[in-house]
């Protein structure tokens, strides 16, 4: 069986599971539709909420943000999770005790005002649409890749599935499909994390592995190594922003005396790239080279990068060099 059939089978099976759950958990009363008849066990509810946390935005975007921004992306982590504390302490208990189904209903009743209710509805729609746009982008990307269709079709497929289980099952359907999603997601998150941690540090617990030493014999801490790699690649430091972006990748057009300074040049040289490989630098595209370089020359590299045979191993040549600004 080739990979494509396998993908269709696995994705199809999960779709069937979600729709099956929606039909099984079909809502028959308003109470069931909005609050799942208040009959969901706290653990199950917790699993569904956790599935909310591990959405497309976390799965796809947050990992990337942390890789790109290092420490600075911690605000997303703390905001994402800290928000749940606010929700649990300031909103959820009162909403439950008030006995109303939705936030606008609660606001309308609490402040004796139809206008307040309307404002709450508008706020909710604005917030939801913003959120859904982000999620749908993720859904389109993920489905487009798995099913090998265009982005638009991917979004369409995702929307159709969500529509079926949300309309049929209401909150009960959503909660139970989310429990299924939780199991899938936690598995998909944990397995690679454990193996990466084992591979890099020999420690199977990822949370501890991040703070351990590398097992490649260098004796470096994983975080220090990570810091070195991302700064070598021109990204920000994992720990903070103290070191200069460009310190490691130097675009050195001065030391190369085969070219006189006045002659037109179509490339510059990248030094300090040992161990990275030019292909990796090239793959990063323009993102890394656009920063003004050392040597005070202020030249930029904005073209493809290739190995430079005339230079020591690790040096790369940059096509599409821009003169000093």
Partner 1 sequence: MSDQKNRQSYWKANLKLVAFCLGIWFVVSYLFGIILVEQLNTISIGGYKLGFWFAQQGSMYVFVVLIFFYAWRMNKLDRKFNVHED
Query: What stretch of H or E contains 300?
Result: strand 300-301
Please give the DSSP secondary-structure letter assigned to residue 293: P
Residue 207 makes contact with partner 1 by CB under 8 A: yes
Which position among 212, 215, 280, 297 is part of the footprint of partner 1 (CB under 8 A)? 212
Dihedral of CA atoms 62, 63, 66, 67 in degrees, nearest 10, equals -140
Residue 77 makes contact with partner 1 by CB under 8 A: yes
Least distance in angstroms from the C-beta of 300 to partner 1: 32
Residue 45 makes contact with partner 1 by CB under 8 A: no
Of 215-223, 254-262, 269-277, 282-290: span binding partner 1 (CB under 8 A)? 215-223
Q: State the CB neighbour count (10 A cutoff) for residue 90.
A: 9
Residue 43 makes contact with partner 1 by CB under 8 A: no
Residue 221 makes contact with partner 1 by CB under 8 A: yes
Whether 235 and 226 have beta carbons less than 8 Å apart is answered as no
Least distance in angstroms from the C-beta of 71 to partner 1: 6
Whether 104 and 126 have beta carbons less than 8 Å apart is answered as no
Intra-chain end-to-end CA distance of the chain, in Å: 56
| Cα 287 versus chain centre, distance | 18
Please give the DSSP secondary-structure letter assigned to residue 201: H
Decide whether 238 or 250 has the Cβ nearer to partner 1.
238
Per-residue binder mask for partner 1 (CB under 8 A), 120-159, x = binder = ----------------------------------------
Residue 39 makes contact with partner 1 by CB under 8 A: no
Which position among 6, 9, 88, 279 is part of the footprint of partner 1 (CB under 8 A)? 88
Decide whether 58 or 177 has the Cβ nearer to partner 1.
58
Q: Which residues contact residue 95 at a Cβ distance below 8 angstroms, ignoring those fewer than 6 apart?
A: 103, 106
Decide whether 118 or 196 has the Cβ nearer to partner 1.
196
Q: Is 137 left (phi over 0), alpha (psi -120 to 50) or beta?
A: alpha
Decide whether 222 or 251 has the Cβ nearer to partner 1.
222
Residue 202 makes contact with partner 1 by CB under 8 A: no
C-alpha to C-alpha distance for 178 and 68, rounded to whole angstroms = 29
Q: Which residues contact residue 208 at a Cβ distance below 8 angstroms, ignoring those fewer than 6 apart?
A: 197
DSSP calls for 20-87: HHHHHT---SHHHHHHGGG---HHHHHHHHHHHHTSHIIIIIIHHHHHHHGGGGHHHHHHHHHHHHHI
Name residues contacting partner 1, limited to 232-291 (CB under 8 A): 238-240
Residue 74 makes contact with partner 1 by CB under 8 A: yes
Rg, Å, the chain Cα set? 26
3-class secondary-structure state, position 261 = coil
Of 6-14, 19-27, 89-97, 252-260: span binding partner 1 (CB under 8 A)? 89-97
Residue 324 makes contact with partner 1 by CB under 8 A: no
Residue 323 makes contact with partner 1 by CB under 8 A: no
β-pair partners for 318: 268, 305
C-alpha to C-alpha distance for 166 and 171, rounded to whole angstroms = 7
Least distance in angstroms from the C-beta of 61 to partner 1: 17
Per-residue binder mask for partner 1 (CB under 8 A), 92-111, x = binder = -x------------------
Least distance in angstroms from the C-beta of 69 to partner 1: 12
Of 67-75, 183-191, 265-273, 283-291: span binding partner 1 (CB under 8 A)? 67-75
- The footprint of partner 1 (CB under 8 A) covers 71, 74-75, 77-78, 81-82, 84-86, 88-90, 93, 207-208, 210-213, 221-223, 238-240
């Amino acid at each position: 069986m080739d990979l494509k059939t396998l993908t269709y089978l696995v994705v199809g099976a999960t779709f069937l599971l979600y729709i099956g759950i929606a039909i099984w958990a079909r809502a028959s009363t308003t109470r069931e539709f909005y609050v799942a008849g208040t009959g969901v066990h706290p653990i199950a509810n917790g699993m569904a909420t956790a599935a909310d946390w591990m959405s497309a935005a976390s799965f796809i975007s947050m990992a990337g943000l942390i890789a790109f921004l290092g420490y600075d992306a911690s605000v997303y982590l703390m905001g994402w999770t800290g928000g749940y504390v606010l929700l649990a302490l300031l909103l959820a208990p009162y909403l439950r005790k008030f006995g109303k189904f939705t936030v606008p209903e609660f606001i309308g009743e609490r402040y004796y005002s139809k206008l307040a209710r309307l404002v709450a509805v508008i706020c909710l729609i604005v917030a939801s649409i913003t959120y859904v746009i982000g999620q749908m982008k993720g859904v389109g990307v993920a489905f487009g890749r798995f099913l090998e269709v265009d982005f638009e079709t991917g979004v369409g497929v995702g929307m159709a599935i969500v529509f079926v289980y949300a309309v049929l099952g209401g909150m009960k359907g959503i909660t139970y499909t989310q429990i299924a999603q939780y199991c899938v997601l936690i598995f998909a998150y944990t397995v690679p994390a454990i193996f990466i941690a084992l591979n890099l540090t020999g420690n199977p617990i990822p949370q501890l592995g991040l703070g351990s030493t590398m097992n490649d014999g260098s004796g470096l801490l994983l975080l220090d190594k990570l810091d070195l790699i991302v700064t070598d690649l021109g990204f920000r430091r994992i720990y903070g922003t103290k070191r200069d972006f460009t310190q490691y990748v130097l675009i050195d057009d001065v030391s190369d005396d085969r070219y006189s300074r006045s002659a037109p040049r179509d490339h510059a040289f990248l030094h300090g790239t040992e161990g990275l490989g030019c292909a990796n630098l090239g793959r990063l595209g323009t993102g890394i080279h656009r920063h003004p370089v050392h040597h005070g020359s202020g030249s930029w590299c904005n073209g493809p990068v290739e190995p430079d045979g005339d230079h020591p191993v690790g040096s790369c040549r940059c096509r599409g060099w821009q003169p000093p600004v």
